[in-house]
């Protein structure tokens, strides 16, 4: 009996690569191959060798083939969803000139401030790109490279995002998609293309950039003979444009034009993000006004400090991550890597409100609360960007999807539930970024709408946790500390 068609969705994140082998008809997850990444850097620096991502992709695909027992001839499509914003610079042979600057590298904070001022302030940027430059955005990293490693900047023959780099290795085609491109701050969500004035401001030749496909599901090419040999797959497999990790998670949830719109999502991973898919183009200086992978939009707020920061606090206290209780009077702002929302790139962690009877478990609980409040405070702005009134009872009680590694932790779920006051849905299916990429791969192979594909797979379905009374005392205590501390944290 012949095997059903299989698609591979690749999640190339900050820490690892996952290759999800997925039945293209039913969405059943056959296997997930995994391989780690190496991240280096001290202080504000965070870098990775892009060749390590390719090696990890090869290892993950090999592991997935072996675990799933998939006949390579059954694979019909592949798509990559990658960590957003990273800057990859290549020579004329397509080889990296230096390690990639990652999204959570905060060294370009001064360049972000200078670029914002050079164009006339935050409003001028959101009118064009939907977003204000912060240290995470690719444009600021390119400007940092020009000022700090000018020889490499001059030698650069191609500029890519992490997922673009891998897509090009697969297909031989230099392509990106509107979703990931919208995180560069040189792509205009107003016009749907690269902004020539911004490229001039950045001294960036548009010839160095990849072409922008119509959507992340657009078939940009086929698996080359060389890539096929390295991956153990047949040449000619459809290669999708792919997208950024947050855009792919939205697809995996069935969010977009053919699915759910204006529903909030909170992702608890290395970063904490809150977003929604909408038809309304966002232009808020408080948010990243991204495009979505399917042609809609994805207003998003991102915090640098989420699960890794809380796990670090747990390690310092010598506690298991689940050995925590509500923080009481203690407040912890776990800004161990600076912060993006709010824009505090030079911030460090803050602890206040400690008493003689404060327990280690309360301090850990306070770290959870500080991280959760930081990202949840942006939720109302995301809803406004969707054209909704956050005070509308119908909006305030709309269920929020909770995804990412933290969504599997009891303390994360209960903290978010208590501080949001919303019903929560924790999708039963895992690996939503990889499954979203698999839906993009299926779209490239068949021409189907990837959101409709993901909806039919029901990867975003799950049991609903009823809302509990919102803990306004903790909400206001943490918020007050954050508002008072923000000016000093900027120093």
294 in active site: no
| Catalytic residue (one of 164, 177, 195, 245) | 245
Residue 102 and residue 47 in contact, taking contact as beta carbons nearer than 8 Å:
yes
State residue 289 phi and psi, 5-degree precision: -95, 70
C-alpha gyration radius of the chain: 21
The pair phi, psi for residue 160, each rounded to 5°, is -135, 155
414 contacts: CB under 8 Å, gap ≥ 6: none
Closest by Cα among 261, 279, 262, 284 to 129:
284
- Rounded to whole angstroms, how far apart are CA atoms 220 and 210? 11
CB atoms within 10 A of CB 189: 24
CA dihedral 270, 273, 276, 281 (to 10 degrees): -110
Kind and range of the H or E element at 303? Answer: strand 297-303
Q: Collapsing DSSP states into helix, strand and coil, what is residue 104?
A: coil
Three-state secondary-structure class, residue 117: helix
**End-to-end CA distance of the chain, in Å?**
66
Q: 138-148 and 109-119 helices cross at what angle (nearest 10)? A: 110
The residues annotated with a catalytic role in the active site are 245
């Amino acid at each position: 009996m012949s095997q059903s068609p299989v698609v591979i969705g690749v999640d190339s994140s900050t820490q690892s690569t996952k290759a999800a082998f997925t039945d293209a008809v039913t969405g059943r997850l056959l296997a997930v191959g995994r391989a780690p990444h190496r991240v280096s850097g001290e202080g504000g620096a965070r870098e990775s060798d892009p060749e390590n991502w390719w090696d990890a992709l090869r290892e993950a695909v090999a592991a997935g083939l072996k675990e799933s027992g998939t006949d390579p001839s059954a694979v019909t499509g592949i798509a990559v969803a990658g960590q957003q914003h990273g800057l990859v610079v290549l020579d004329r042979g397509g080889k990296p000139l230096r390690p990639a600057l990652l999204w959570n590298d905060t060294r370009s904070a001064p360049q972000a401030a200078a670029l914002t001022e050079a164009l006339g302030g935050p409003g001028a940027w959101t009118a064009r790109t939907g977003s204000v430059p912060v240290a995470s955005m690719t444009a600021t990293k390119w400007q940092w490279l020009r000022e700090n490693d000018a020889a490499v900047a001059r030698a650069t023959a191609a500029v890519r995002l992490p997922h673009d780099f891998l897509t090009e290795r697969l297909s031989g085609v230099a392509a990106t998609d509107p979703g990931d491109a919208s995180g560069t701050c040189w792509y205009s969500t107003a016009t749907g293309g690269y902004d020539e004035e911004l490229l001039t401001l950045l001294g960036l030749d548009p010839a160095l950039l990849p072409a922008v496909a119509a959507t992340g599901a657009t078939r940009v090419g086929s698996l080359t003979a060389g890539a096929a040999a390295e991956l153990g797959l047949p040449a000619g497999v459809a290669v999708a444009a792919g997208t950024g990790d947050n855009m792919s998670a939205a697809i995996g949830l069935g969010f977009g034009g053919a699915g759910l719109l204006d529903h909030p999502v909170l992702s608890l991973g290395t970063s904490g993000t809150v977003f929604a898919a909408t038809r309304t183009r966002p232009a808020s200086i408080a948010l990243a006004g991204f495009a979505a992978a399917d042609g809609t939009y994805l207003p998003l707020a991102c915090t640098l400090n989420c699960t890794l920061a809380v796990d670090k606090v747990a390690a310092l206290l010598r506690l298991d991550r689940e050995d925590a209780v509500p923080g009481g009077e203690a407040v912890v702002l776990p800004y161990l890597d600076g912060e993006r929302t709010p824009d505090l790139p030079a911030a460090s962690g803050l602890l206040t409100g400690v008493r003689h009877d404060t327990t280690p478990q309360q301090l850990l609980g306070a770290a959870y609360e500080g991280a959760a409040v930081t990202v949840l405070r942006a939720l109302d702005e995301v809803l406004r960007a969707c054209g909704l009134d956050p005070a509308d009872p119908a909006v305030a009680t709309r269920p929020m999807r909770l995804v990412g590694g933290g969504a599997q932790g009891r303390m994360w779920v209960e903290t978010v539930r208590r501080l949001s006051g919303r019903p929560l849905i924790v999708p039963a299916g895992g690996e939503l970024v990889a499954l979203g990429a698999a839906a993009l791969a299926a779209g490239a192979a068949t021409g189907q709408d990837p959101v409709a594909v993901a909806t039919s797979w029901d990867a975003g379905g799950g049991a609903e946790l009823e809302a509990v009374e919102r803990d306004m005392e903790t909400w206001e205590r943490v918020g007050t500390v954050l508002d008072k501390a923000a000016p000093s944290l900027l120093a």
